[in-house]
A and B are shown apart, each in its own frame.
Chain A
Amino acid sequence: MKPYRPARIVVEREARRDPLARRVLDFYSGVPVEEVERAEELLAEPPAGPDPFGAGKRTLLLARFRGTFVKPCPGTAEMLCCHYVVLSPIVNCPLECTYCVLQSYINRPAITVHTNVEECLAQIDEYLAAVPPGGLVRIGTGELADSLVLEEPTGWAERLVHDVAGRTNAVLELKTKTALVEPLLGLDHGGRTVVAWSLNPEVIIRREELKTVGLEERLEAAARVQAAGYLAAFHFDPLIHYPGWEADYRDLVARLAQAVDSRRVAWVSLGSLRFLPGLKTVIKARFPKSRLPGGEFVLGQDKKLHYLAPLRTAMYRAVAGWLKEWDEEILIYLCMERDSLWDAALGERPPDRAAVEQRFRRRLQAVASFGTTPS
């Protein structure tokens, strides 16, 4: 995997004083730097050319975040929610997954690294202080960016790992499609950080998850973090439906089973490919070789395109079955899926929010290497 190097760095005047900004500027010394008063100035000059989103990835923006770092995942009204909490230290990503939803959401032509770390940590404090006794919050940084791809220049994950290490009501999840785990290995994580990989068969990785590392590297990296005392987690998300999916995903689970210790797997999620209808046009234009737009999609109640329900049921049921064959105790959940599909695919579902939390808490308690046991 080729390390990311921006073509230019734009830094907000105010952010330039922040230690994280200085660290990034030092790391990328030699890259042209421009200073702006406010990040919004970038919006005024979107890159020209046929692919402004792709072009925007070559600009790294260092800016203070003036909004809320910590936000509960909005979920979807009609779907069973897993009550995840999203943290956004970095927004946008140098990796190029054809299906990336950020292509629909992000209008700032840059990868933004937020530099006000202390404010972020204070917001985490505040958020967790309001959690009822016995509650457990899963916080993740992998929603709006890959959690590790910019770790070396930014050190964001390290700060968060340290911050969460001493807490009793939170677990940090770092989600990645890279093998860049080196900076994590020596950290004192207190058993409160889960390092997670999004998994797909090699054929999908090569065709649809561009600039990421291959399956073997992901699995080797997962084994390394397990050896360093971390829990691992895996996301079969997005599951892609294509001729031959069944054999490929069965093989994927088999390779996973060979590579990592199931007793130190915190959880596994399953989610089928879904996206806002407008993304299909973007995928066709940016990635003409992607086969994803040819999938048999229908508009769901959440206004996103989903594979037909029976196709989703079949994929969830099959993958969950293989995972259970590997280890009956593994915690499997569906991401953004309606009750009837939970029932059809997994044969059961948590009835409410409390039950969702309880499942995660119990699993974490049960996993052998989990450090500080959550109350």
Chain B
Amino acid sequence: MSRIEELTLGAIDEADRTFCVSFGGNLGNLERSMAAVGQTAPLHVRSVDGDRYQLVTGFRRAQVLRLLGRTQVLGAVYSREELPDPKAARLAVFDNFGVRDYNLVEQARAVELLLDVGEMAEAELVNKVLPAMGLQGHGRVLQRLRRLLVVEEEFLETIAEEGWPARAVLPLCAWRADARQAFFEVVQALRPGANKLAELVTWIEEIALQRDKPIESVLVDLKLRSRSQDEALSPPERLRQVREVVRRARYPTLTRMERRASELVGKLQLSPYVTVRPPEGFEGDAYEARFSFASPEELGRIGRRLVEASDDPSAVELRSLLTEGLPEDEEEEKP
């Protein structure tokens, strides 16, 4: 049983991070809240040598109290016998579950703590803890999550800061350190959202497979570092440009077909109120034409032009694009 006591903040060993899961994140809200109402829940500590304490939960709160210049703190005090290491590790991880979401780095640290100190079996972690964290309950996720902690510190800080999710970040754990570092420089400059980051990671991995080259070579081939730092472009334009370059490399035939379809539609010289689109991924047998009109005369003009366009060789080529693709002389493109 623990005892609730008022402790001197200085008696808590700040350097002992054995049970610390917290990593990065903004303390602003917590600071405002604690400045306004003070400490509402006790920290959990273990007594060490009588007058010193080891912090088990409440690392962020202890940090804020120090920032606020407080010297006293409310603590639930346990002896080592009352709260042995495995129990303490579980308390450290699960205490925060109901209060806030862990960022990905914290999830990795929590898993490591549960395995190493909490003596939790892998099966329990996979089947219960990962899903509770919003992750897929799969041994592979656990394996990659553990690998995350060996990723460069600077990268971890960005992951925590940006709140990037597992699906975007965990594949990077399988990359070589130099590839990851090179890619990190690119994403540091671009700061993509989670979806775009996940998309870039997937495409780059798959280009490497397609070309049978290491990822670091792909990054060099596509000149992603210089493109991501192109000062002639605004940050969103840079991201757009990088995404487009990577997509073109990932889907070389598809992007050429898209471009050709767009040229052919242009050649049909339809009204600006008409849009023509191929089926998604050219996976289908029909183009979709949409038009809008404001008067019967305009409708007539659009209709007449559509009829004329049906005889245009571009319309024939558009049709064959769906099954035959590009004519041979247009298939190759310079890298």
A residues whose Cβ falls under 8 Å from a Cβ of B: 45-52, 284-285, 288, 290-296, 298-301, 306, 308-311, 313-314, 338-341, 343-344
Set of chain B residues within 8 Å of A285, measured between Cβ atoms = 140
B283 touches A296 (CB 8 A): no
Q: How far is the CA of A313 from the CA of B121 in the complex (A)?
A: 51
Kindly supply a per-residue 1/0 record for chain B positions 262-305, scoring 1 wherever the CB is within 8 Å of any chain A CB and 0 otherwise: 00000000000000000011111100000000000000000000
Tell me if B63 is interfacial: C-beta within 8 Å of chain A. no
Q: Which of A46, A290, A301, A311 is B284 in contact with, Cβ under 8 Å? A: A301
Interface residue tally for chain B (C-beta within 8 Å):
37
- Using A51-B139, A308-B281, A311-B325 as known contacts, say yes or no to A291 and B251 having CB atoms under 8 A apart: no
Interface centre among B142, B174, B209, B253 (most CB of A within 10 A): B209
Set of chain B residues within 8 Å of A309, measured between Cβ atoms = 282-283, 322-323, 325
Tell me if B48 is interfacial: C-beta within 8 Å of chain A. no
Q: How far is the CA of A292 from the CA of B205 in the complex (A)?
A: 12
B280 touches A284 (CB 8 A): no
B206 touches A299 (CB 8 A): no
Set of chain A residues within 8 Å of B127, measured between Cβ atoms = 46
Nearest-neighbour CB distance to chain A for B202, whole angstroms, equals 8
19 contacts between A and B (CB under 8 A): A48-B139, A49-B122, A50-B142, A50-B143, A284-B171, A291-B210, A293-B205, A294-B209, A294-B210, A294-B211, A295-B210, A296-B210, A296-B253, A298-B280, A300-B281, A301-B283, A301-B284, A310-B257, A310-B321
B206 touches A52 (CB 8 A): no
A338 touches B285 (CB 8 A): yes
Q: Which residue of A lies closest to B208 (CB)?
A: A294
A294 touches B207 (CB 8 A): yes
Q: How far is the CA of A340 from the CA of B319 in the complex (A)?
A: 11
Set of chain A residues within 8 Å of B322, measured between Cβ atoms = 309, 340
Q: How far is the CA of A311 from the CA of B257 in the complex (A)?
A: 12
- Using A298-B283, A309-B323, A340-B323 as known contacts, say yes or no to A291 and B142 having CB atoms under 8 A apart: no
- With A291-B210, A310-B325 known, 11 other A-B pairs at CB within 8 A are A50-B139, A288-B174, A298-B280, A298-B283, A308-B281, A308-B325, A309-B282, A309-B323, A310-B253, A313-B323, A338-B285
Q: How far is the CA of A123 from the CA of B103 in the complex (A)?
A: 54
Nearest-neighbour CB distance to chain B for A314, whole angstroms, equals 8
Tell me if B126 is interfacial: C-beta within 8 Å of chain A. yes
A344 touches B324 (CB 8 A): yes
B253 touches A311 (CB 8 A): yes
Tell me if B68 is interfacial: C-beta within 8 Å of chain A. no
Q: Which of B140, B207, B210, B282 is A308 in contact with, Cβ under 8 Å? A: B282
Q: How far is the CA of A301 from the CA of B322 in the complex (A)?
A: 14
- Using A299-B280, A313-B323, A313-B325 as known contacts, say yes or no to A50 and B140 having CB atoms under 8 A apart: yes
Set of chain A residues within 8 Å of B280, measured between Cβ atoms = 298-299
A51 touches B140 (CB 8 A): yes
Q: How far is the CA of A308 from the CA of B256 in the complex (A)?
A: 12
B323 touches A291 (CB 8 A): no
Q: How far is the CA of A294 from the CA of B326 in the complex (A)?
A: 21
Set of chain B residues within 8 Å of A341, measured between Cβ atoms = 323
- Using A50-B140, A296-B251, A298-B282 as known contacts, say yes or no to A284 and B325 having CB atoms under 8 A apart: no
Q: Which residue of B lies closest to A286 (CB)?
A: B140
Set of chain B residues within 8 Å of A291, measured between Cβ atoms = 209-210, 212
6 interchain residue pairs of minimum CB distance:
A310-B325, A298-B281, A294-B209, A294-B210, A344-B323, A48-B123
Number of A-B contacts (CB under 8 A): 90
- Using A291-B209, A298-B282, A301-B283 as known contacts, say yes or no to A52 and B139 having CB atoms under 8 A apart: yes
- Using A294-B206, A306-B283, A340-B285 as known contacts, say yes or no to A313 and B140 having CB atoms under 8 A apart: no
B206 touches A293 (CB 8 A): yes
Set of chain A residues within 8 Å of B210, measured between Cβ atoms = 291, 294-296
A299 touches B283 (CB 8 A): yes
Q: Which of A47, A48, A308, A344 is B254 in contact with, Cβ under 8 Å? A: A308
Nearest-neighbour CB distance to chain B for A161, whole angstroms, equals 40
B126 touches A48 (CB 8 A): yes
Nearest-neighbour CB distance to chain B for A286, whole angstroms, equals 8
Q: How far is the CA of A306 from the CA of B123 in the complex (A)?
A: 35
A299 touches B281 (CB 8 A): yes
Set of chain B residues within 8 Å of A339, measured between Cβ atoms = 285
Set of chain A residues within 8 Å of B139, measured between Cβ atoms = 47-52
Kindly supply a per-residue 1/0 record for chain B positions 314-335, scoring 1 wherever the CB is within 8 Å of any chain A CB and 0 otherwise: 0000000111111000000000
Tell me if B313 is interfacial: C-beta within 8 Å of chain A. no
Set of chain A residues within 8 Å of B211, measured between Cβ atoms = 294
Set of chain B residues within 8 Å of A288, measured between Cβ atoms = 174
B202-246 with Cβ < 8 A to chain A: 205-212
Set of chain A residues within 8 Å of B140, measured between Cβ atoms = 50-51, 285
Tell me if B10 is interfacial: C-beta within 8 Å of chain A. no
A298 touches B284 (CB 8 A): no
Set of chain A residues within 8 Å of B138, measured between Cβ atoms = 52
Q: Which residue of A lies closest to B321 (CB)?
A: A310
Tell me if B252 is interfacial: C-beta within 8 Å of chain A. yes
Set of chain B residues within 8 Å of A298, measured between Cβ atoms = 254, 280-283
Q: How far is the CA of A311 from the CA of B121 in the complex (A)?
A: 48
Nearest-neighbour CB distance to chain B for A333, whole angstroms, equals 18
B324 touches A313 (CB 8 A): yes
Nearest-neighbour CB distance to chain A for B328, whole angstroms, equals 11
Nearest-neighbour CB distance to chain B for A90, whole angstroms, equals 25
A310 touches B324 (CB 8 A): yes
Q: How far is the CA of A300 from the CA of B322 in the complex (A)?
A: 13
B283 touches A293 (CB 8 A): no
Nearest-neighbour CB distance to chain B for A164, whole angstroms, equals 38
- Using A52-B138, A298-B282 as known contacts, say yes or no to A310 and B206 having CB atoms under 8 A apart: no
Nearest-neighbour CB distance to chain B for A241, whole angstroms, equals 10
Nearest-neighbour CB distance to chain A for B201, whole angstroms, equals 11
Q: How far is the CA of A258 from the CA of B257 in the complex (A)?
A: 39
B122 touches A48 (CB 8 A): yes
Q: Which residue of A lies closest to B122 (CB)?
A: A48
Set of chain A residues within 8 Å of B285, measured between Cβ atoms = 338-340
Nearest-neighbour CB distance to chain A for B135, whole angstroms, equals 14
Q: How far is the CA of A45 from the CA of B123 in the complex (A)?
A: 8
Q: How far is the CA of A371 from the CA of B126 in the complex (A)?
A: 55
Set of chain B residues within 8 Å of A48, measured between Cβ atoms = 121-123, 126, 139
Set of chain A residues within 8 Å of B253, measured between Cβ atoms = 296, 308, 310-311
Q: How far is the CA of A340 from the CA of B128 in the complex (A)?
A: 48
Nearest-neighbour CB distance to chain B for A344, whole angstroms, equals 4
Set of chain A residues within 8 Å of B257, measured between Cβ atoms = 308, 310
